[in-house]
Structure 1
């Protein structure tokens, strides 16, 4: 059995690989003809993937009994937020160069920008309240209610990806299928648990 601390660091390093890859590309000329778009796509892709990985923790526990996955959930969620925060920062600071008028126009006219900002707002709130102090201040029940909005963030993230793509819709559809599968496992487990409780009574 691998010690939890060792496993934690292995997962942490794996989640950092996309960031390290981007840095390597920047120093080796691997960002392509449009570096800004490449960076934006890379960070956005990994933000959504990281979020789906975080959401897979409970289904993995349900299906395979991997309790360690649930213990990694907070760290995975913070990695998802880190990637989405960098994705948004790249858009605001580098792509739009703090042109707030243009950003405002995008928010109004481009659906994928609107829903993307919605997902970011949710993830920002969840990241800011992911510590023990927030749980104590809010109360466990209220904290859990707020953090269930992570599913809304994932839905908005998939919508953002699908609405943004102009030609090849297969990648966003794969992400949507994965999210649907994760929801399906949770729903199946919830239904199974309810039926078991009814039988006992």
Structure 2
């Protein structure tokens, strides 16, 4: 349990840390103050992650806060805290879902990073609303059917420098919300992660 927790900490904090470091370097090189804004958002995200991980350590993997959240706003906020290079994000539609906003953003960040890691710097990522939830897909190489269950297991990775943590976190966040997760092929041939059973405010 301790080893897994340490892996989650190092994995999820690395995303916004890389964004903050890159933004500071761009600010120094260009003199453009807007890069400081992105660095500040990344630092804010790290603070929220630390708070959330401390909650995970003390309260377990249950979701402790559920409230109405805009899927589109959370999807765009998550994109801003991940080093996405030349990748593009399309958000089709919006829905208000009942979720822990920090854990939902954590789920999206890990899926974005997975797309960039496996689909390349210019991968196209799409978030869309479905009848019973939402999906995230990309135009990368996809995930072969034979390993779609394996990729959610701790430590599974096909990358030499991969951690095998990101998709495990996605699975845990979905389970904590009682969402079902199905991995399949996206509309552009890449990976698709579909979440069903997503509650909406009454």
| TM-score band w.r.t. shorter chain | under 0.3
Q: TM-score under structure 1 normalisation?
A: 0.25
Q: Determine which structure has more spread, i.e. the larger CA radius of gyration.
A: 1
Structure with greater helix percent: 1
Normalising by structure 2, what TM-score? 0.25
Relative to its length, the structure with more strand (as a share) is 2
